Amino acid sequence: MVKHIILWNLKDEYSAEEKEKIKADIKKSLEGLMGKIPGLTYIKVHTRGLASSNADLMLDSTFEDEDALKGYAVHPEHVAVADGKVRPYTKSRSCLDFEI
């Protein structure tokens, strides 16, 4: 099994209200990939960090193996979400992939 964890920060230009809508849209879109990506066994987007957090949202996902993670990266449904719902609104991204 492979974990794929992403932390994002949204661009500063958005108001608090806009950020809440963007986060909800990212959550719905990414979690909607469950059942559509071969080898994806779990996906959850966390949008309600505590005040001590320095990221706006987190993707927590699990894949059967590293090949499944590589397939996810280029899968057309994932690419559409990343290009249309995530990348236009984020200013930074941190990633940690590891075996469990």
Average pLDDT over residues 3-8: 98
- pTM score: 0.94
- 64: domain CATH number is 3.30.70.100
Cα(63)–Cα(49) distance, integer angstroms: 24
- Per the structure, the count of domains in the chain is 1
pLDDT tens-digit readout, 54-93: 999 999 999 999 999 999 999 999 999 999 999 999 999 9
Write the secondary structure of 11-32 as one string of H (helix), E (strand) and C (coil).
CCCCCHHHHHHHHHHHHHHHHC
Q: For residue 81, give its domain range.
A: 2-99
pLDDT tens-digit readout, 34-54: 999 999 999 999 999 999 999
Q: Which two tokens stand for residue 99?
A: 């075996």
